[in-house]
Amino acid sequence: MRIKRITEVVGLKVYTDSGDFFGTIEESNLSDNKIDSWRIRVDSNMLSLIGGARGVIVPHQFVRAISDIFIINKSVLPSPDSNSDLVEEDLI
């Protein structure tokens, strides 16, 4: 098993566990020297899925795998009609 540095993960493509391309990793959020969550820039094809937001913050416990690609649980993503805290409207 190879350990990845956070700098190697930034820019990786993110897919859902159902195989849909979701976006790319922008950065990690750390808390007490541990990864707390990941900021993901959403692909334009998936904007309708999350209500038009340009990005989401996904808690690390919902990451399924990190290797050449990043796989997340699709169930963690907010539905377009909910006002979830995961959606980040002003993501730069």
pLDDT in tens, 29-58: 999 999 999 999 999 888 777 777 788 899
Go through the domains of the chain in sequence order and give each one's CATH number. 6-75 (2.30.30.240)
The pTM of this model reads: 0.77
- Angle CA(6)–CA(76)–CA(31) in degrees, nearest 5? 40
Torsion angle in degrees (nearest 10) through CA of 27, 33, 34, 37: -30
The neighbour count for residue 20, using CB atoms within 10 Å, is 14
Please state which of the ranges 14-28, 42-56, 74-88 shows the lowest mean pLDDT.
Answer: 74-88
Residue 56 DSSP SS3: strand
